[in-house]
Amino acid sequence: MIIVADSSCDVNKEIMDSINIKEIEDKINDTLSIDLVPFKIYVDGTEFVDDKNLDRDKLIKFMHDSPNPIRTSCPSPGEFLESFMKSTTSFAITISKELSGAYNSAVTAKNIALEQKNKFIHIFNSKSASTGEVLIFLKLIEEIKKGISNNEIVNNVEQYISDMKTYFISEDLGNLIKNGRISKINGLIANILNVKLIMKSNELGEIELAEKVRGSSKVFNRLAEIIESTNVNFSERIAVISHANAIEKALGLKAKIEKLRFKDIIIVETNGLSTSYVNDGGVIISF
């Protein structure tokens, strides 16, 4: 069995090290491997490969210095296919198909693989990114550990995705403006008036505005209130917070939501692709 995720999935070394691969392999009577296939990020012609060797500080500096839109290139079908050919059973997790072509690349690879060999392959459209993909990864591991059928795993994880919620705050709107995620006029007004935007992923996996908040000191308090107002059963949910060079903000948000008694609150750093979305100082949360 293999789990494949694109590099929008901000799984870190601590999470990877916490997985007892041997225990899972004994349960499923099969080997288990995990592949992360990288996006590529282009800033004024300079290519950054979003893998373990990425210099994120250099990427952030280049983004700050560039007046031009940041371009990204999703993993190719060939990269997904290489992973799918390693096992008879594959599960893949991609960034929302509304934000990138990664999902379609994975589906193309799946179709090619199924023509060549008898395999089970399922592609999970996260309808999210970053922290959302981390949660799906953790849920997938949890379901695999149960030793249930592949179809049961798919049903349980797809239901989990439909219930998941993702919000983010971008301290610097530059990349969102340059990439057309928000209008230039709204972005400039927000910057001039010190209005902070709380964004969210909707049920289709599109980015939309959740709320406008005046002032940096208030925006995380309001985000905590929005999270509390969702009235989900927090005791059954894990929250994952990802930050782009903003550990104090991430810790502050964690402190504000601890009263909700999540099953666990995990903090990770953004990989390159997530950093290119929320920019330096951005924070993302999924639960």
Q: Assign 242 to helix, strand or coil.
A: strand
Give the containing element (helix H, strand E) for 40. Answer: strand 40-43
Q: What does pTM read for this prediction?
A: 0.93
Residue 153 burial (C-beta neighbours within 10 Å; 0-12, 13-18, 19+): buried
Alpha-helical (H) ranges within the chain are 13-18, 21-28, 56-65, 77-84, 102-116, 131-145, 150-163, 174-178, 184-192, 216-229, 247-257, 272-278
Q: Provide the pLDDT for residue 67.
A: 87
Q: Half-sphere exposure of 249 toward its Cβ, with a 13 Å CA cutoff?
A: 23
Q: Provide the pLDDT for residue 176.
A: 65
Residue 159 burial (C-beta neighbours within 10 Å; 0-12, 13-18, 19+): exposed
State the chain's mean pLDDT as an integer: 93
Query: Which two structure tokens, joined as six digits, stand for 38?
Result: 């990288």
The low-confidence residues of the chain, meaning pLDDT below 50, are none
Kindly state the DSSP code that residue 205 receives in the 8-state scheme.
S
The per-residue pLDDT for range 116-140, each reduced to its tens digit, is 889 999 999 999 999 999 999 999 9
Query: Which two structure tokens, joined as six digits, stand for 70?
Result: 């940041």
At position 135, the amino acid (one-letter code) is L
First to last CA, the chain: 26
